[in-house]
Amino acid sequence: MFLNPSARAITRAKRKTLEKFHFFNVYDSNDNVIGKRIAIKDILAESIIIPQLNSEEVVRMSIGIDGGGDDDKKSTKVVISFPDFESPNSKDNQHLVGIYFGPEDYISLKNILEPINIELSEIVSHGALTKVGWRQFELFIIGDLKLLKLVYGLQSNSATRFCLLCHATSDQSKHGVDVMPRTLETIRNGISQVKKRSTPSTRPSELARLKKNYGSVDAEPLLTCIPLSHATPPPMHIMMGIVNSVFTVLEKHNTQVAKELRKKAGIQDKYRKGFSGKECRDFLKYIEDNNYQGPCADLFLAIRRIQEYMKIGIEVDLKNMKSDIDVLLDLVRKSELELSIIPKLHYLEKHVVPFIESHKAWFSEQGLEHIHSQVNGAIRRIPPKGTSKYEKWSKYFMETQLMLNCL
């Protein structure tokens, strides 16, 4: 027989669960509370079901960083997930570590990531307690490339050396030149050179020149416990960037064809930047299923072939993947349209295959999207009144998410 628990019993159970976790505030530069975070060791000990692996086996843990939302609802989330566990991208496998409402900038990220970095450094050096005993961890990072560049103290995509993972310039990426990889060490060296050659009274233009000359660096890296060899080129963002850049060119040269294609593929014509991840997948499927032969068909089909390698749990034939990537890059370079080697194409050409080769996997950032849509749903339930709304929103969201993970 099942008993219906009373509301009071549910509240008591909830309180008892939440008591096991240490919550901390996240502040902005004026000491206002703009978010919350939880101790990662509490999450590992209390809410994560780690498969009964051999205790010698290292658990791979991915730190995801994602921003989203508009205006005052703009939020940045830090999430941990486990790429080798079952259904790694399902929403149950996304464990929220922290959230803040506010700008996606270095200072705000520093406020949330500094304590997280200390905790992660300890976990990576000594391991942590889990429900199945003490385990060692290997850390990866994944997320929006724009945010990851801030996290590692680098300048934006428009910088001379635009890449998170190597020192390529746009001219070098245009010609597919192999360039020296970035490491935490090269970034730190760049910053120390800039510091050595500047003073508080150095003119901003001179400071910008120095930063550019020392590898387009901007500030000290914030997550020093995850080497750049463990920064994942994010599959979904890479595909979205490439599909959207080709579609934009098609729209420019063949407005009518682009309009019809969009309609036939069932993608709504909204006033926004471009196709979402799902829309890209639907669009490429439409192109293939309907044997589309119009302008840019060869490019879209080449992208579609690469998309096939992104499925979870498939054994990737790296030789085939590399040759399919080369086909796409070749088509872009030879195209008569004004296609350029955008940064996402560079990541695809130079960094995806080496990542899969060294880690025998390609992790997806798709799970992060679930968290994002849940934030929007959750904060709608909390009226945006008072100056402490960010504190209320983040507390409510963290607690709800934690309860979901603990069920």
Report the residue number, 303 or 352, with the smaller CB distance to Zn ion: 352
Angle CA 76–141–29, to nearest 5: 35
d(CA 63, CA 72): 25
Q: Is 168 a residue that touches Zn ion (CB under 5 A)?
A: yes
Nearest approach, Cβ of 166 to Zn ion (angstroms)?
3
- In the complex, minimum distance from the CB of residue 349 to Zn ion, in angstroms, rounded to a whole number: 9
Among the listed residues 99, 163, 258, 402, the single contact to Zn ion using CB under 5 A: 163
Restricting to residues 345-364, which ones interact with Zn ion according to CB under 5 A? 350
- The distance of closest approach from Cβ of residue 162 to Zn ion in the complex, given in angstroms and rounded to an integer, is 8
Compute the distance between CA of residue 18 and CA of residue 90 in angstroms, rounded to an integer.
23
Residue 37, Cβ neighbours under 10 Å: how many? 24
Q: State which residue, 97 or 141, has the beta carbon closest to Zn ion.
A: 141
- Part in contact with Zn ion (CB under 5 A); list of ranges 10-18, 113-121, 167-175, 232-240: 167-175
Q: How far is the CB of 104 from Zn ion (least distance, A)?
A: 22
User: Nearer to Zn ion by C-beta: 237 or 350?
Assistant: 350
DSSP state string for 129-149:
EETTEEE-EEEEEEE-HHHHH
Cβ nearer to Zn ion, comparing 95 with 346: 346
Which CB atom, from 348 or from 375, has the smaller least distance to Zn ion?
Answer: 348
Q: CA triplet 305, 307, 310: central angle to 5 degrees?
A: 130
Does 302 help bind Zn ion (rule: CB under 5 A)? Answer: no
Per-residue x/- mask for Zn ion, residues 254 to 283, rule CB under 5 A? ------------------------------
Tell me how far, at minimum, the Cβ of 152 lies from Zn ion, in Å: 13
Give whichever of 60 and 149 is closer to Zn ion, judged by the CB atom. 149
In the bound complex, what is the minimum distance in angstroms from residue 165's beta carbon to Zn ion?
5
Q: How far is the CB of 351 from Zn ion (least distance, A)?
A: 6
| Stretch near Zn ion under the rule CB under 5 A, chosen from 102-110, 123-131, 164-172, 279-287 | 164-172
Q: How far is the CB of 307 from Zn ion (least distance, A)?
A: 21
Q: Does position 238 bind Zn ion by CB under 5 A? A: no
CA 49 – CA 209 distance, rounded (Å): 49
Name which of 135 and 350 has its Cβ closer to Zn ion. 350
Q: How many amino acids of this chain bind Zn ion (CB under 5 A)?
A: 5
CB of 167 to Zn ion, least distance (A): 8
Which range, of 80-88, 159-167, 220-228, 292-300, touches Zn ion by CB under 5 A? 159-167
Nearer to Zn ion, 189 or 254 (CB): 189
- Which C-beta is closer to Zn ion: that of 182 or that of 304? 182
Q: Which of 79, 165, 225, 265 binds Zn ion (CB under 5 A)?
A: 165
Q: State the sign of the Cα–Cα–Cα–Cα dihedral 272, 278, 279, 284.
A: positive
Q: Does 154 bind Zn ion (CB under 5 A)?
A: no
Position 228 contacts Zn ion (CB under 5 A): no
Binding site for Zn ion (CB under 5 A): 163, 165-166, 168, 350
